[in-house]
Amino acid sequence: MFDDRRKIGVGLTAFGLLFTVLGVLFFFDRGLLAMGNLLFLAGVGTTIGPRATLRFFMRRKNLKGSACFLTGVVLILIKWALVGICVETYGFWLLFSGFFPTVLGFLRRLPVLGSILDLPILKTVLNKLAPPQASGLPV
């Protein structure tokens, strides 16, 4: 299913997200946030390849999200962690919001999590945040 390069990339991306969440939980620890950003970017680059990563971040419709995401990374590195994570989150949302319906569709098929996500209140909120798509991936 996945070759070794993609497995490593997914692992790096997961660790990047984990470090970012830990950085936020530990009162915006700059070291954990910076490590999370580095691992996330390395993971995305390793998963889809450097050329596809550059193409994704430099697409005309993704330029605003890329600028916000990278500005957030720089702000975290210059010790403005709270502002940086807010700007970075906005950029992340702009870049990857097209993938959220696909991810939610996958999570809804999981045995336990699917029944939790189908609760009426959660289903209403999630459908407003990421409406279900009829087509496949947004790329």
Q: Answer yes or no: pTM beyond 0.85.
A: no
Smallest CA-to-CA distance from 117 within 109, 134, 135 is with 109
The dihedral of CA 19, 21, 22, 27: what is its sign? positive
Amino acid at 133: Q
Percentage of residues of the chain with pLDDT beyond 70: 94
Percentage of residues of the chain with pLDDT beyond 90: 68
Which residues lie closer than 8 Å to 21 by C-beta, 6 or more apart?
Answer: 36
For residue 134, what pLDDT is reported? 55
Can you list the residues of the chain whose pLDDT is less than 70?
Answer: 1, 132-139
> Is 60 strand, coil or helix?
helix
